[in-house]
Structure 1
Amino acid sequence: MTQMHAAQAHAAQAHAAFNTGRGALLIDADNFHDPGQLRAIHGQFSQHAGKHPICHVHGAAKLLYSDGLKSVWLELGAQLIPCLPLNKNTTDAALVVDAMRLHFQSGVRRFGIASGDADFAPLSLVLRELGCEVTCFARLSIAFEAMVPFYDRVVRFDALPAPPVPPPVATPQPAATAKMAVQPSPAQPSSTGAVKPAAQVPAPVAPKAKPVPQITAAEREAVRKILATLPKWNPHTVRQLNQLGTPLRDGGVKTGSAPLHQLFRKYPAFFTVLPVSGQAKQVRLERLP
């Protein structure tokens, strides 16, 4: 090998090593274009893959350049990649090509794919065979069944939780005998020009804040026993219910003939059985004990 070739090979290895720790978030805007969900996806992936990941957004040009998303793309530092102006949508194919280019040219080994479309399952399998880590972000309405085994992590969005609102502070009563605080309304002139006395308007009563449910030590210990019998389970990922029964029974955690989903429903702070209504098929781990 000549010195030039050796230098080029060394530079390529150094470049790949530099990018190994950097993640690339690839967004299918045809499926994900809600500003709140886009910010949540980018925030979660940044926590997992490091600050300022590469962010490429694929989709129809009309959607990518819409006024409602401009500020979001600026916040995410996103590069917009519109699909080709053909009669057929090329978003999926462009995203696959982009992922392979980022891996082989830039050495990226940590990917986030925001879509949930089954078309990306083969891409995930190939990337994982190449030593990459792949996280899938999906909406429950478009997530395909049995998607979990194809990815290292799966994060599904049923609906974004509303931001917490602090309970209003009740105003103390000025007098011990007063039953209701009142506020005067502006005085109104009568038809004769005389000023009528101001009407007394009751002030709104502050609603009582709902108590925050407490998780007991016994519940935490029970969940630890459940997780100890199963392969490593990351929060916000989903497992198929029919794959959990055997290890739980072998570990002595599941006994009796009661349906398996009842075991997980006993700990709603840690598990969510899916779908929420209808026949139980999956379980999502919400947090670790």
Structure 2
Amino acid sequence: MNGKVMLLIDADNVSADVISQAVEKVLTEQGAIHVRRAYCTAESAQKNLALFKRHSIRPIVNLSAGKNSTDIALAVDALDLVLAERPQLVVIVSSDSDFAPLVIRLREKGCRVEGIGQQGKTGDETQAVYDAYTVLAHGKAKAAAKAAKTARPAKAERAPKAAKAAPAPPPPSPLPDDVQRILHAVPALLDGARLELGIAAERLRAAGLLAKSAPSTKLFKKHPQHFALSPEKQPNKVQFIGDAG
């Protein structure tokens, strides 16, 4: 196997928020997604155009009539891709149980098949057929982004209480605007864990903070008191270290 990862999305079946979470999850776990396709109607493609651009997802527009025509288009494409590319992993984003025959066939072709569905729309019979299955709650991605945006400034606004007999100590200095923008674009850094630079760079480009061909290391090196790169010689990971100054 060549280690390729394919993400095939039934975009008419899950919300845009769940699609975003699915891309983040697979990128975090696998480090890369080589094929990203979303199968949908023309109306859905237009509605989610910004989402598809942000995550570099290729929309496959289905113009055929019929209740299951989009599902059939995804299944046909999945078989063609697996036969041609021989991926190691195929991830199908859908809560639909109709993909069971496809999952079984792809597994027979030698690849692992995982599923991602939306909470409240996914039954047990859907989950059982996959090698692994994750249910995501709609709204979690927006909540995480909102929390990342407000967490740091709110912390800086809390000035310690002073005793009447002594002057109050100075409040902690807020994070620089550039650092706050980076954390808003890459909220996973707030956990303090080491994150792959490739994943961080993708989020920064999507947020317009990093040019297409520019390395993310330069951006992080501008704030050495807030971000640590490792290993030292050829860094491939970044960690948010707060205010080391």
- What is the TM-score of this pair, normalised by structure 2? 0.57
> What is the CA deviation profile of residues 242-286 of structure 1, one whole-angstrom value per residue up to 9, with x for unaligned ones?
xxxxxxxxxxxxxxxxxxxxxxxxxxxxxxxxxxxxxxxxxxxxx
Structure 2 CA distance for partners of 1:33 and 1:64, relative to 1, 3 Å = farther
- 1:116 and 1:137 in contact (8 A); partners too: yes
Match of 1:120 in 2: 99
> In the alignment, does 2:90 pair up with 1:77?
no
| Larger gyration radius, structure 1 or structure 2 | 1
> In the alignment, does 2:94 pair up with 1:109?
no
Structure 2 CA distance for partners of 1:107 and 1:173, relative to 1, 3 Å = closer
Distance 1:77 1:149 in 2: 30
> What is the CA deviation profile of residues 170-218 of structure 1, one whole-angstrom value per residue up to 9, with x for unaligned ones?
23457718xxxxxxxxxxxxxxxxxxxxxxxxxxxxxxxxxxxxxxxxx
Structure 1 segment 99-178 matched on structure 2, within 5 A: 99-159=78-138, 160=140, 162-163=143-144, 164=147, 165-166=151-152, 168=155, 169-172=157-160, 176=164
SS in 1 for 2:14: coil
- 1:83 and 1:89 in contact (8 A); partners too: no
- 1:116 and 1:143 in contact (8 A); partners too: yes
Match of 1:21 in 2: 3
Distance 1:52 1:88 in 2: 29
Distance 1:52 1:133 in 2: 14
Question: Which 10-residue stretch deviates more, 144-153 or 128-137?
Answer: 144-153
Match of 2:38 in 1: 57
Unaligned segments of structure 1, at least 5 residues: 1-16, 178-289
- What is the TM-score of this pair, normalised by structure 1? 0.49
SS in 2 for 1:21: coil
Structure 2 CA distance for partners of 1:139 and 1:176, relative to 1, 3 Å = same
Distance 2:164 2:30 in 1: 58
- 2:7 and 2:33 in contact (8 A); partners too: no
Distance 1:65 1:89 in 2: 20
Letter in 1 for 2:15: H
Per the TM alignment, residue 139 of structure 1 is displaced from its structure 2 partner at its CA by 0.7
- List structure 1 segments (4+ residues) > 4 angstroms apart after TM superposition: 172-175
Distance 1:96 1:172 in 2: 59
- 2:19 paired residue among 9, 20, 38: 38
- 1:103 and 1:109 in contact (8 A); partners too: no
Identical aligned pairs, as a percentage? 26
Unaligned segments of structure 2, at least 5 residues: 166-245
SS in 1 for 2:63: coil
Structure 2 CA distance for partners of 1:157 and 1:105, relative to 1, 3 Å = same
SS in 1 for 2:124: coil
Per the TM alignment, residue 44 of structure 1 is displaced from its structure 2 partner at its CA by 1.2
Q: Greater helix percent: which structure? A: 2
Letter in 2 for 1:64: A
Letter in 2 for 1:93: I
